[in-house]
Structure 1
């Protein structure tokens, strides 16, 4: 329990809420696509797929954290001026990629938060 408190306590609630809203939108899209596939897959395959999507949705804020920290380290306070439609499309693609691979990326974010909160407590 202390582990979960330390991890979630290290992230701003606003950041978590925004990430979970985006994650919920991606999850709803994937649920709709999976269930509308018709009889292409057996029910247990669809249930397993949705379970993996659900775990990925819970881990998405931590994979997004990894991306944001890498971006912060690599670019600092750099500002880019570009077309808003292109920027939003690129952000959508990056977030969809982060959501899809959150099961693999999020453990890095959780480890980062663990070590960061450990150093802050000491």
Structure 2
């Protein structure tokens, strides 16, 4: 595989990528279902490719979000009731999915430089 592709698209662990990909596909499926229920047989042409693109880029946008939250929160842990955390989690997942086209390139660039630097340090 080309080093640039390996460092960017292959930069996440398989478990993490496929777990997040399943969530991305689920959010895309829910969005498609919601769009097609309102007006049958009149889904705009660009909707389906955007849903697929968001599903594929969601793991990288979620990675960016988790890196930012990890930086801000540090090693702090908050224990909150599930009734509060589930809506917050769904909100952040939806935002990461919706903004995947814009957030994922940041994650891909970060992964590229991170893996490139790590490869240079290996003797």
Give TM-score, length-normalised by structure 2: 0.89
| Corresponding position of 2:65 | 67
Deviant stretches of 4+, over 3 Å: none
**Partners of 2:81 and 2:95 in 1: CA distance:** 21
> In the comparison of the two structures, how many residue pairs are matched?
119
Q: CA deviation at 1:19?
A: 0.3
Q: Which has the higher helix share?
A: 1
Give TM-score, length-normalised by structure 1: 0.90
Q: How does 1:1-122 map to 2 (within 5 A)?
A: 1-2=1-2, 3-39=4-40, 42-43=42-43, 45=44, 47-122=45-120
* Residues 62 and 93, structure 2, Cα contact 8 Å, conserved in 1: yes
Uncovered stretches (5+) of structure 1, i.e. residues with no partner: none
CA RMSD, 1 decimal:
1.5
* Residues 58 and 97, structure 2, Cα contact 8 Å, conserved in 1: yes
